[in-house]
Amino acid sequence: MPDPSAVTVERLKKRFGQRTAVDGLSFSVAAGEIYGLLGPNGAGKTTTLRVLAGLLRPTEGVARIDGVDVGSDPRQAQRHLGFLTGTTGLYGRLTAREVLVYFGTLQDMPRPRIAARIDELTAVLDLRAILDRRCEALSSGQKQRISVARAVIHDPPVLILDEPTVGLDVLASRFLREYIGAERARGKAVIFSTHYLAEAELLCDRIGLLYQGALLAEGRPRDLRAQAGDATSLEEAFLRLVTDLVAA
């Protein structure tokens, strides 16, 4: 039985001034599960993930990472998660190894543990050829592999990935998907946000469809298709559900 307490979001609200970006959102992600957060631009995906990553404070509601309340103790929550976005930057004038050591230190990892973890990640993510090169000299795919390594250097139980495949070519995207799948197999809870619905269908165990800051529908990909009147794809299901909502 997967542990249901890896990520819990309850009636989460986030306002910026008078604009409500997230409006009473609730969902949970179990350990060993990939949860897809899908929706159009401005649906509140990035805001939700930033709240979960301890970057933004919730206006109302609760978000817990591995049992830690993000709102009241964001630093402690950040020890239990790895956060990665498609636009995550790396320090161009540092080598990949220096970046990993830096973030490992910020996670309070002892130096031998960091070195051992870099060795593990070098094997898993194929970093050997790029580890001692400056990040500014790396390709987009190579940079994203280093970013993944940076996000998981402390081997967190929860991974938050905000459109991690943006700008990557087919091979790099597939490599990343395979890695995420492997992490699920290791018992990690993964929250995955993407624009590519086909990618989400391929990877996610469950999907939450986000629209105007609230959940429009939630379930396994095939259940969502059924819910939308046996849609042939997740994209079609999403469009039908949104159309029904607007019409109502």
Partner 1 sequence: MNLPHVSAVFRKELRETLRDRRTLTVMFLFPLVVYPLVSLLMAEVMAGKQATDEARTSHVALVDPDPASRATLAALLDKKGNGIEVTRDVSLAQATGLDVSNGLIDAVVEVAPEKTAAKAKAAGPLPVRIVYDETRPISDQAHDRVTKALDSVLPNGCFQSYAVTGASLATKTKVGGYVLSKILPLIVVIMTMLGAFYPAIDITAGERERGTLETLLSSPVQRFDLMTGKVLAVAALSLLTGVLNIVSMSLTVAEGARLAAGSPILAIPWPRAAATLLIVVPAAFLFGSVMVAIGAMARSFKEAQTLLMPVYLLCFTPSLVAGMADFRLTGLTMLVPGTNLTLLARDLMLGEAHLLATVIVMASTIGFGAVALAFAARLYDSERLLSSTDADLVSLSAWLRHLVSRPAAPGSPEATGAPPVPPSAGQAVALFGVAFVLWFFAFTWLQRWNLIPGLMISQWVGFLGLVWVYARLCRRPLGDVLVFRRPAPLALAGAACVGLSGWIILGILADKVMPPPREVVENIRNLIHPPGGSRSLALSVFALAVTPAICEEALFRGAILQGLRRQFSLPVSCLLTGILFGVMHGDVWRFVPTTILGVLLSWVALTSGSIIPSMLVHVLNNGVLIVLGYYGLDQAGDNLSGRASVLILGAAVIFMLGGLAAIRRAGRQTPAATGA
Residue number, 150 or 206, with CB nearest to partner 1: 150
Q: What residues between 205 and 244 interact with partner 1 by CB under 8 A? A: none
Q: Is 53 in the site for partner 1 (CB under 8 A)?
A: yes
Q: Per the structure block, which two tokens stand in for 244?
A: 């029904």
Q: Is 166 in the site for partner 1 (CB under 8 A)?
A: no
Interacting stretch for partner 1, rule CB under 8 A, among 76-84, 126-134, 168-176, 216-224? 76-84
Rounded Cα gap, residues 124 and 108, in angstroms: 23
User: ∠78-84-89 over CA atoms, to 5°?
Assistant: 110
Q: Is 56 in the site for partner 1 (CB under 8 A)?
A: yes
The answer to whether residues 20 and 32 touch, using CB atoms and an 8 Å cutoff, is no
Q: Per the structure block, which two tokens stand in for 220?
A: 């396994």
Q: For residue 33, what are the β-bridge partners?
A: none
Of the candidates 5, 28, 107, 233, which one interacts with partner 1 according to CB under 8 A?
Answer: 107
Of the candidates 91, 157, 219, 231, which one interacts with partner 1 according to CB under 8 A?
Answer: 91
Nearest approach, Cβ of 57 to partner 1 (angstroms)? 6
Q: Is 85 in the site for partner 1 (CB under 8 A)?
A: yes
Q: Is 41 in the site for partner 1 (CB under 8 A)?
A: no
**Nearest by Cα to 147 from 76, 102, 86:** 86
Of the candidates 50, 64, 117, 188, which one interacts with partner 1 according to CB under 8 A?
Answer: 50
Q: Is 57 in the site for partner 1 (CB under 8 A)?
A: yes
CA quadruple 14, 16, 17, 22: dihedral sign: negative
The answer to whether residues 220 and 48 touch, using CB atoms and an 8 Å cutoff, is no
Residue number, 51 or 197, with CB nearest to partner 1: 51
Q: Per the structure block, which two tokens stand in for 8?
A: 């819990």
Residue number, 83 or 238, with CB nearest to partner 1: 83
**56 CB burial (10 A radius; 0-12, 13-18, 19+):** buried
Note the residues at the interface with partner 1 (CB under 8 A). 16-19, 50, 53-57, 75-76, 78-79, 81, 83, 85, 87-92, 103, 106-108, 147, 150
